[in-house]
Chain A
Amino acid sequence: MNNNPENIKQSHGTEYQGPKAIDIVNRGLAKRYGSEQRFKIYGLVAVVISLSFLVLLFFTIFSNGYSAFFQTFVQLEVSFDPAFIDKDDPANSNFPGLVKKTLTDEFPDVKNRREKKELYSLISSGAAFQLQKMIQQQPDLLGRTIAVSVPADDDVDMLIKGNIARDVPESDRRLNDRQLTWIDKWVQEGKIAKRFNTAFFTSGDSREPELAGILGALVGSILTLTLTLLLSFPVGVAAAVYLEEFAPRNRWIDIVEVNINNLAAVPSIVFGLLGLAVFINFFHMPRSAPVVGGLVLTLMTLPVIIIASRASLQSVPPSIREAALGVGASKMQMVLHHVLPLALPGMLTGTIIGIARALGETAPLLMIGMVAFIVDIPSGFTDPATALPVQIFLWADSPERGFVERTSAAIIVLLVLLIVINSLAVFLRNRFERRW
C-alpha cells in the first residue's frame, strides 16, 4: 500500500501540485520517437542519394558507351580496276578515287557534284587505307571484284545506332533526305552490318570518330605508370623503412613526417606546375613524353606509398624485431630479413592503390603537355604520348556526336582497368595479410 506514490505524498502531508516527471516524459515521448524516426530516415536517405548518384553515373556512362564497341560497316563491291591501281607501285595508287568510283557505280543516278560529295561522305576516309592494305597484302586482287566491308562514316554510324533522329527537319540533321534514301537502300539490301569495333582497340587517336582508338593512349598510360611504379615503389618503401625503423625521434623527423602528410593532400595540378617548371623548363626534358609524366606521377604517388608502407610496418609486432636482434642480427639484417618480408604484402597493396590513383590522374599531365593530338602509338619513354584519362578529356571536348560514345567507351575501359587493379590489391591483401 505504501508503495503507491499517491499514498507517499499523502503521508507527507502537503500535496505535490505540479506535473509529475513521468507525465512530462510521456507527453514528450511521441514527439521524441518521431524525431528519432525522422533522423534515422534522413540518414538512410543520405546513403540512398549518395549511392543513387553512383548508379546514375554508371548508368549514364554505360548506356552511352556500350554502343561504341560496335561499328557500322558497309559492304561494297570493289573492283580493283587496273585503271586506278598502278601495277608497279600499288601502294601509292589513287585509293580514294577507287572508293569514289565504287560508290558512283553503285548509285549510277548520282550525277552532279553536290550529290556525289554527299554520297562520298557516307563512307569513312579510312576505307581507302583499308583497300591499300588489302592490295599490299594480296597483290593478286588486281583486276578482280570482291565484296569488301568498309567502315561507314560516323554520321551513318550514329544513324544506324539511333542517335540521329530522322523525324526532325532536314536542315537540323547531319544527313539529308537524299543520303537517308541511299542508306535505306543499303539497309534493305542487307549491306549494312554492325560488327565488333576492333579499330577502337588497335589504333591511335584520329579526327574521325569511326577511326579513333585508344591503343595509343593506353600504351602511353602503361609507359608512364611503369616508370611511376619502378621509381615510387623502391623509394617509397625505403623512405618508410627509414622513418619507421631507423629515424631518431627529433624535430627534423617530425618536419619530414608533417611534410609527407601535407604532400599527400597537395592538389595534383600543383605537381603539374612543378613538372613544368623543373623538368621541362629547367632540365629541358622533352614535352609530352611519358618520362616526364612518370616523374611527376612518382612525386605525387610517393606520399601515398610512404603512408601505406609505414602503416604496414607498424603492424609487424615488436616481438619479431626483438627475436631477430636477440639472436644477434644487426638492425639492418633484422629489417631486411624479417620485418620487410612480413610488411611487404601491405606495402604492395598500398602501392597498387597509389598506382590506380595515378592511372586516373589527368591534371598534372595536362601541365606537362601530354594533351597533344597524337596519332602514332608511342614506342618509348621519350616519344610524344597521351594517357588514357587525357584521351578521355580530349574526346570529351570534340563536338562530333560519335565522340560522345567513344568517350564513354574509353571511360568504361578506364573503369574496368581500375576495377581490375583494385581487385588485385584486395586479393593481395586477403591472400597475404597476416593478423597478429
Chain B
Amino acid sequence: MSTSLLIIILLSLTAVAYQFGKSRALSLSRTDAGIKTLHSRPVYYGVLTALWCGLPALFIFLAWQICEPAIMTKMVVAQLPDEIRMLPENRLNLVLNDIRNLVSGNILSAEIKPEIEEAANHYRKLQATGDAALAVVILSFALIGALLARQRITPVLRARNHVEKVFTFFLVACASFAIFTTIGIVLSVLFEAIRFFRVIPINEFLFGLDWSPQMSIRSDQVGSSGAFGAIPVFAGTAMISGIAMLVAVPLGLMSAIYLSEYANKGFRAVAKPLLEILAGIPTVVYGFFAALTVAPFIRELGVTFGLDVSSESALAAGLVMGIMIIPFVSSLSDDVINAVPQTMRDGALALGATKSETIKQVVIPAALPGIVGGVLLAVSRAIGETMIVVMAAGLAANLTANPLQAVTTVTVQIVTLLVGDQEFNSPKTLAAFALGLVLFIVTLILNIIALYVVRKYREQYE
C-alpha cells in the first residue's frame, strides 16, 4: 500500500470518527432533555473522537518514517555475505547505495553482482513487509482509538476541555518551532565547524593571511596543499559591504529625509512604493544586472581613464549591492524619522531655524539611534547577501585595498565550496561550515544590537 493511499484512508477514517463521535453525543442527549444535558457542544465530542482516531496513528506513521531507513539498512547488512559486511564503512556505503538504486530501479554505477541482486531482493521483500505491517498497525490504532473514544463519551465528559488542551499543545509546539530552528542552525554549523577546527587550528583560520582551499586528493599531487587563513575572505567581505554602505546610506537616508520632510503627498505616494520595488526584486536579478551591465560599464570607464579594472571588481558588486540596500535603509530611516515628535520640529522652526537646519540639528540627532540601528541591520544584510557576489565578485582571495580588483567574500566561498558533489570529511567542505559559523555569529551580533537599539529608541518616544 502506498503511503499517500494510507494517509488518505487515515484522513477519511478520522472524518468518519468525527461523525461517529458527534452522533453518539447527540444520541446520548436525546434520551434526556435535549442537547443542554451535554457538558460540551456535540462538535467537541466529534473532534475528540477524531483526535483519538488520528493522532496516535499519525505519530506512529511519523516515527516509522524516521526510523525506517536505519532499521532496513541494518537488516539488509545483516543478510549480506561476510566479505562485504567486513568492508570499511565508506565501501559498505557504496554497496548499500547500489542496493538502494537497484531497488528504486535507477541506473547502477557498476554491473550487478549476484549477492547485490539478492540483497536488493531481500530489501524489496523487507520493504513490502514493512509497508504492510505499517498499514495494519496504523489502521488498527486508528480504529481502536476511535472506538475507545466513543466508549468514553458520556454527557458529563468534558470534551471541550480535552480538545482545547490538545489545541493548546499544538500552538505551543508551533511557537517553539523558531527555537528549534535556531538550535538546529547553531548545532549543525557548530558541529561541522568543530570538526574543521580539529584539522585546522582556529587561530590559523581566523588570522591566517592565505586562503586557497583546494586540497589535493592524493598525497603525491603537486601544489594545492590547502591553506585556510580567512583574513583575505573577511577583508573582501568588509570591502564589498563597505562600498555597498557608501552607496546605500547617503542615498537611502537622503531619500527618506526628502520623502518624509519635503515631498508633497502625491510624490510620496508614488515614489515610496517604487523604492520598495527595489527591495522586492530577487537578488539573483541584481547579480545578473551586475555581471551583465554594471561590471562591463565600470571596466570600460576604467579603461578610458587608463586604469586597470578587473572584470569582477569589488566596485561593481558593492555598487549593485548598495542599490539593493537603498530601500532597506530608506524605509527604516523613514520609520524612525516619522517617530520623532512633531513638537520638536515645531520648536526648532519657531526659533527661526530653516527646515534643513531643523532636520540637521534636531530631527537627525533625535533619530540617530534608530538610524544607526537600521544601518546595522543593513550591514548585516550586506554581509550575508549571496547571489550578487556569487555572480559578480571573484573567486580568488586577494588581500587588497583596491576596489578595482577582484576580491572574494564569505558567502561566495561557502557557495563554491559546497555546490556540487562533495565528501563530508575533507577540510575543504568543512571550511564552508566554519565560514558559515563566523557569518552567523557576526550577523547575529549585529542584529541583536540593532534590534535592541531600535526598540529602545521606539520606547523613548512612545
A54 in contact with B258 given A266-B444, A396-B288, A418-B280 (CB within 8 Å) = no
Measured between beta carbons, the chain A residues less than 8 angstroms from B424 are 281
Measured between beta carbons, the chain B residues less than 8 angstroms from A262 are 182, 444, 447-448, 451
C-alpha spacing A422/B277, complex, angstroms: 10
For this complex, 15 residue pairs linking A to B, each with C-beta atoms less than 8 Å apart, are A36-B357, A43-B261, A47-B271, A53-B278, A53-B323, A61-B289, A238-B171, A243-B175, A256-B179, A267-B385, A274-B185, A361-B282, A363-B387, A366-B418, A411-B288
The reply to whether A396 and B189 contact each other, CB–CB distance below 8 Å, is no
Interface of B toward A, CB cutoff 8 Å: 66, 69, 160, 164, 167-168, 170-172, 174-179, 181-182, 184-185, 188-189, 191-192, 250-255, 257-259, 261-263, 271, 274-275, 277-278, 280-289, 291-293, 323, 326-327, 330, 352, 354-357, 359-360, 377, 380-381, 383-387, 390-391, 411, 414-415, 418-419, 424, 432-433, 436, 439-440, 443-444, 447-448, 451
Q: Which of A44, A235, A359 contacts B174 (CB 8 A)?
A: A235
CB distance from A418 to the nearest CB of B (A): 6
CB distance from A386 to the nearest CB of B (A): 12
The reply to whether A43 and B181 contact each other, CB–CB distance below 8 Å, is no
The reply to whether A362 and B283 contact each other, CB–CB distance below 8 Å, is yes
Measured between beta carbons, the chain B residues less than 8 angstroms from A1 are none
Shortest beta-carbon contacts, A-B, top 7 = A267-B384, A43-B258, A360-B282, A277-B188, A46-B254, A238-B174, A39-B356
CB distance from B393 to the nearest CB of A (A): 14
Measured between beta carbons, the chain B residues less than 8 angstroms from A274 are 181, 184-185, 188-189
Measured between beta carbons, the chain B residues less than 8 angstroms from A271 are 185
Measured between beta carbons, the chain A residues less than 8 angstroms from B384 are 266-270
Measured between beta carbons, the chain A residues less than 8 angstroms from B171 are 238-239, 241-242, 246
The reply to whether A47 and B440 contact each other, CB–CB distance below 8 Å, is no
CB distance from A56 to the nearest CB of B (A): 8
C-alpha spacing A288/B272, complex, angstroms: 38
Q: Which chain B residue shows the least CB distance to A407?
A: B288
The reply to whether A263 and B181 contact each other, CB–CB distance below 8 Å, is yes
Besides A239-B174, A404-B292, 7 more A-B contacts (Cβ < 8 Å) are A261-B447, A270-B439, A273-B432, A277-B433, A332-B164, A363-B411, A396-B288
The reply to whether A50 and B436 contact each other, CB–CB distance below 8 Å, is no
A54 in contact with B278 given A256-B179, A263-B182, A277-B191 (CB within 8 Å) = yes
CB distance from A271 to the nearest CB of B (A): 7
C-alpha spacing A274/B168, complex, angstroms: 28
Contact with B along A302-324 (1 / 0, CB 8 A): 11001000000000000000000
CB distance from A392 to the nearest CB of B (A): 5
Q: Is A201 an interface residue (CB 8 A)?
A: no
Interface size range of chain A in the complex: 35 or more
Interface of A toward B, CB cutoff 8 Å: 25, 32-33, 35-36, 39-40, 42-47, 49-51, 53-54, 56-57, 60-61, 64, 234-236, 238-239, 241-243, 246-247, 255-256, 258-263, 265-271, 273-274, 276-278, 281-284, 299, 302-303, 306, 330, 332, 356-357, 359-363, 366-367, 369, 371, 389-390, 392-393, 396-397, 404, 407-408, 411, 414-415, 418, 422
CB distance from B274 to the nearest CB of A (A): 6
C-alpha spacing A61/B277, complex, angstroms: 15
The reply to whether B292 and A32 contact each other, CB–CB distance below 8 Å, is no
Q: Which of A60, A263, A265, A362 contacts B386 (CB 8 A)?
A: A362
Measured between beta carbons, the chain B residues less than 8 angstroms from A256 are 175-176, 178-179
The reply to whether B359 and A39 contact each other, CB–CB distance below 8 Å, is yes
The reply to whether B436 and A269 contact each other, CB–CB distance below 8 Å, is yes
Measured between beta carbons, the chain A residues less than 8 angstroms from B390 are 363, 366, 393
CB distance from B254 to the nearest CB of A (A): 3
CB distance from B447 to the nearest CB of A (A): 4
CB distance from B81 to the nearest CB of A (A): 24
C-alpha spacing A238/B418, complex, angstroms: 35
C-alpha spacing A236/B173, complex, angstroms: 11
The reply to whether A269 and B415 contact each other, CB–CB distance below 8 Å, is yes
The reply to whether A396 and B391 contact each other, CB–CB distance below 8 Å, is yes
Measured between beta carbons, the chain A residues less than 8 angstroms from B258 are 40, 42-44, 46-47
Measured between beta carbons, the chain A residues less than 8 angstroms from B175 are 238-239, 242-243, 247, 256
Q: Which of B160, B164, B293, B419 contacts A371 (CB 8 A)?
A: B419
Q: Which of A49, A268, A367 contacts B418 (CB 8 A)?
A: A367
Q: Which of B352, B354, B359, B443 contacts A267 (CB 8 A)?
A: B443
- Among B391, B418, B419, chain A packs the most CB atoms within 10 A around the CB of B418
A273 in contact with B387 given A43-B254, A239-B174 (CB within 8 Å) = no
The reply to whether A238 and B170 contact each other, CB–CB distance below 8 Å, is yes
CB distance from B305 to the nearest CB of A (A): 22
Measured between beta carbons, the chain A residues less than 8 angstroms from B444 are 262, 266
Measured between beta carbons, the chain B residues less than 8 angstroms from A283 are 66
Q: Which chain A residue shows the least CB distance to B454?
A: A261
Measured between beta carbons, the chain A residues less than 8 angstroms from B352 are 25
The reply to whether B287 and A414 contact each other, CB–CB distance below 8 Å, is no
Q: Which chain A residue shows the least CB distance to B268?
A: A47
A54 in contact with B274 given A47-B259, A246-B171, A302-B181 (CB within 8 Å) = yes
- Among B167, B171, B330, chain A packs the most CB atoms within 10 A around the CB of B171
The reply to whether A330 and B188 contact each other, CB–CB distance below 8 Å, is no
Measured between beta carbons, the chain A residues less than 8 angstroms from B286 are 57
Q: Which chain B residue shows the least CB distance to A368?
A: B418
The reply to whether A50 and B278 contact each other, CB–CB distance below 8 Å, is yes
C-alpha spacing A47/B390, complex, angstroms: 28
Q: Which chain A residue shows the least CB distance to B160?
A: A330
The reply to whether B436 and A302 contact each other, CB–CB distance below 8 Å, is no
The reply to whether A242 and B174 contact each other, CB–CB distance below 8 Å, is yes
A64 in contact with B255 given A267-B383, A276-B418, A363-B387 (CB within 8 Å) = no
A362 in contact with B189 given A330-B160, A330-B164 (CB within 8 Å) = no
C-alpha spacing A269/B383, complex, angstroms: 11
Q: Which of B66, B330, B419 contacts A50 (CB 8 A)?
A: B330
The reply to whether A46 and B439 contact each other, CB–CB distance below 8 Å, is no
The reply to whether B189 and A273 contact each other, CB–CB distance below 8 Å, is yes
Q: Which of A32, A45, A64, A259 contacts B178 (CB 8 A)?
A: A259
C-alpha spacing A44/B424, complex, angstroms: 53
Q: Which chain A residue shows the least CB distance to B291?
A: A396
C-alpha spacing A69/B19, complex, angstroms: 54
Q: Which chain B residue shows the least CB distance to A25?
A: B352
The reply to whether B386 and A267 contact each other, CB–CB distance below 8 Å, is yes
A273 in contact with B254 given A265-B380, A414-B282 (CB within 8 Å) = no
The reply to whether B387 and A362 contact each other, CB–CB distance below 8 Å, is yes
The reply to whether A393 and B181 contact each other, CB–CB distance below 8 Å, is no
CB distance from A166 to the nearest CB of B (A): 22
Q: Which chain B residue shows the least CB distance to A276?
A: B418
Measured between beta carbons, the chain B residues less than 8 angstroms from A362 are 282-284, 386-387
The reply to whether A43 and B383 contact each other, CB–CB distance below 8 Å, is no
The reply to whether B292 and A60 contact each other, CB–CB distance below 8 Å, is yes
The reply to whether A422 and B280 contact each other, CB–CB distance below 8 Å, is yes
A414 in contact with B262 given A46-B251, A246-B168, A404-B292 (CB within 8 Å) = no
The reply to whether A265 and B377 contact each other, CB–CB distance below 8 Å, is yes
Measured between beta carbons, the chain A residues less than 8 angstroms from B271 are 47, 51
Measured between beta carbons, the chain B residues less than 8 angstroms from A267 are 380-381, 383-386, 411, 439-440, 443
CB distance from B109 to the nearest CB of A (A): 16
C-alpha spacing A390/B387, complex, angstroms: 10
The reply to whether A36 and B356 contact each other, CB–CB distance below 8 Å, is yes
The reply to whether A389 and B440 contact each other, CB–CB distance below 8 Å, is no
CB distance from B118 to the nearest CB of A (A): 23
CB distance from A394 to the nearest CB of B (A): 10
Q: Which chain A residue shows the least CB distance to B288?
A: A396
CB distance from B439 to the nearest CB of A (A): 6
